[in-house]
Structure 1
Amino acid sequence: MVYEDESSNDLSSLDISSSSDSMMYRIPTSIDDEDYMGIENSALDVCSEHGLLLERRVAFEGFETSRRFLVCAQPEERVMDLRYLKVNAQGAERSSAVVVVMKSEIEKKEAEIMEVKGKYSVLMNLAEAQGRVIRTQKANHLKEKEKLSEENYNLKVWVDKLTNSEEKLNDDIMVLNRHIDGVKKGIENLIKRMDELKLHIADQLKAVEKNQEKLKMTRDILDG
Structure 2
Amino acid sequence: MVSWSDGSDSSEHTRQCMSSDFDDGTIKVPASTEDSDFEGPEIDMYVLCHGHGKAAERRVAFEGIHTGRRFLCCAEKSKMDRNEECLMHSFNVHDLTQEKKKLQASYEKLVEDVNALMDAQEQRAVIERKDAETTKLQEKYDTLKNIAAAQGTVIRNMKLKLAEEKKNLQIHIDELKKTVEESNVKLEGIKAIING
TM-score (norm 2): 0.50
- The structure with more radius of gyration: 1
TM-score (norm 1): 0.45
